[in-house]
Amino acid sequence: MVHRLAERDESVRLQAATIFVYLLERTKSVKGINTLPSRIMITMAVGCLVAAAPVKGAASAIAGTSTPAAQDTVAHGNRGDDIGLPSAADILQDAFNYGKQVGRRHEKSMSDELAQMAGGDSPVRSFDAGAGGSQSTRYFFGLLDHRSKLAKGFFPGTFLAANVAAQREVAMTWYHFETGHQQLDLFYNEFKWGMDQWTVELQAPYQHEHVSFPDAAPGEPTSRNFDGMANFAIIMRAPIYQYVSKHDSIDYSLVPGLEIDPPSGSTVSTGTVISPRIMQAIGLGNHLSIMTSLGMSFLTGPHQGGEKDLTWDTVPGYNIYHRNLPIPGISDITPVFEIVGSDPLSGSNVGQQSISTIFGLEINPEPKWGYLTPYLGIGAGPALTSAARHSGDWVLSAYVAFALP
């Protein structure tokens, strides 16, 4: 029955695969059938019963076909109603809610598996019942697309570069810069929230800097610490245009953003920094992602007020799913390479370009604890120019984050 439904329409095939994977996941915890062959048999049996109920969400898609059996299903229903079985649409909604509960960051591997089982080779497009064609997936005056991967965990987190992806999470990020006789540690506490594909991010970083004075005169201190809250950060971003190809092989988002960094009032805080930027997120196939940003940074305040910098970065990443690299307990990993630069446009540092790089890895464990399952990132890289080495010859960074409902 599931197989016959799947042949009627692509959307119905995708829903049937969703039911199968959902039931397969849920039978993991059922005592006595937790082996894979038993779970598949039980899932197929229950899937047939579910398919016997009317697929409400796909009724419009089936009605548009010329298959007599499909039209008969829409016109007369079937015996599923007589015995009180739940509809497939209800099961699909439950499956969708379950997917949200285990965390946004694991959707990229799950959607890829669903697409394969549904007979396709690209991530799941949408759970919307009306998403039957390219026109129905467009919204916001036709500029955005529900199929976009921007808010589905496909794009990895970043270290030094601007974050482009839409996110809902709490995160803690640590940076360590070191050069000569100076060591700088930054501890970022981050909260990210949004609806649909827009994101508002709040950051409260704490700074610890240790400076050594090896040539200090006798009786003078040989080192000094500078501690305090650095500038706060308020970041807003939302896509204004998206393009998704027919088979989801190309996924493009144009995302403007604005960052405002007000001073905290501590001794290590600077004046207010305002940074508008334009960002791009590009997904190519099921694995490769590229994020870029270009912006301006304006520093205000009594000390260095009026300074302007041109900032830019590029971040390619490659998602490796569990089926590609079956590491126990790991859903997927994403190697990333970041190159980040700034060019002063005013002040005494004009012409001193700063370029840094970082090689990183994002690790997403299997969502065994729902929202309590963290995902992790670690990276390190050298400064490439003398201006960048003023902050540190190299940087080490790590983060831990938890998805929010």
- pLDDT higher at 306 or 85: 306
Q: What is the DSSP string of 212-276?
A: E-TTPPTTS-SEEEEEEE---EEEEE--SEEEE-TTSSEEEEEEEEEEEE---SSTT--S-EEEE
Provide mean pLDDT across the span 69-97.
41
- pLDDT higher at 38 or 370: 370
Q: Which helix (H) or strand (E) holds 115?
A: helix 107-117
Q: Are 37 and 68 in contact (CB under 8 A)?
A: no
- Count of other CB atoms within 10 angstroms of residue 130: 14
Q: Find out if CATH 2.40.160.40 is the number for domain 169-403.
A: yes
Q: Is the pLDDT of residue 41 over 70?
A: no
Provide mean pLDDT across the span 192-196.
91
Q: Is the pLDDT of residue 184 over 50?
A: yes
Provide mean pLDDT across the span 112-119.
48
Whether the CA torsion 265, 270, 274, 279 is positive or negative: it is negative
Q: Is the pLDDT of residue 102 over 90?
A: no
Q: Identify the pLDDT of residue 73.
A: 35
Q: What is the DSSP string of 170-208?
A: EEEEEEEEEETTEEEEEEEEEEEE-STT-EEEEEEEEEE
Q: Are 170 and 402 in contact (CB under 8 A)?
A: yes
Q: Identify the pLDDT of residue 122.
A: 41
CA-to-CA distance for 91 and 290, rounded, in angstroms? 35
Task: Note the pTM of the prediction, 2 decimals.
Answer: 0.68
CA-to-CA distance for 138 and 166, rounded, in angstroms? 18
Q: Identify the pLDDT of residue 244.
A: 97
Q: Are 400 and 190 in contact (CB under 8 A)?
A: no
Scanning 208-255, the segments in alpha helix (DSSP H) are none
Scanning 2-106, the segments in alpha helix (DSSP H) are 2-8, 10-26, 36-51, 59-63, 68-76, 88-101
Q: Identify the pLDDT of residue 69.
A: 36
Query: Residue 14: phi, psi to the nearest 5?
Result: -65, -40
Return the structure tokens found at 137. 């997936």
Q: Is the pLDDT of residue 302 over 60?
A: yes
Comparing 20-24, 46-50, 83-87, 383-387, the range with the smallest average pLDDT is: 83-87
CA-to-CA distance for 138 and 250, rounded, in angstroms? 15
Query: Residue 119: phi, psi to the nearest 5?
Result: 95, 5
Percent of the chain predicted with pLDDT > 70:
66
371 confidence band (pLDDT: 50, 70, 90) = confident
Q: Are 166 and 144 in contact (CB under 8 A)?
A: no
Q: Identify the pLDDT of residue 18.
A: 56
Q: 171 - beta bridge partners?
A: 190, 401
Integer-rounded Cα Rg, in Å, for the chain is: 26
**Most confident of the ranges 102-106, 120-124, 140-144:** 140-144
CA-to-CA distance for 290 and 155, rounded, in angstroms? 8
CA-to-CA distance for 364 and 14, rounded, in angstroms? 25
3 state DSSP class of 111:
helix
Q: Is the pLDDT of residue 107 over 80?
A: no
Reported as a single tens digit per residue, the pLDDT across 213-236 is 888 888 888 899 999 999 999 999
Rounded to the nearest 10 degrees, the angle between the axes of helix 10-26 and helix 36-51 is: 130
3 state DSSP class of 28:
helix
CA-to-CA distance for 268 and 208, rounded, in angstroms? 9
Q: Identify the pLDDT of residue 26.
A: 55
Show me where the domains of the chain are located: 2-101, 169-403
> What's 250's DSSP letter?
E
Comparing 51-65, 128-142, 330-344, the range with the smallest average pLDDT is: 51-65
Return the structure tokens found at 121. 């080779």
- Count of other CB atoms within 10 angstroms of residue 280: 16
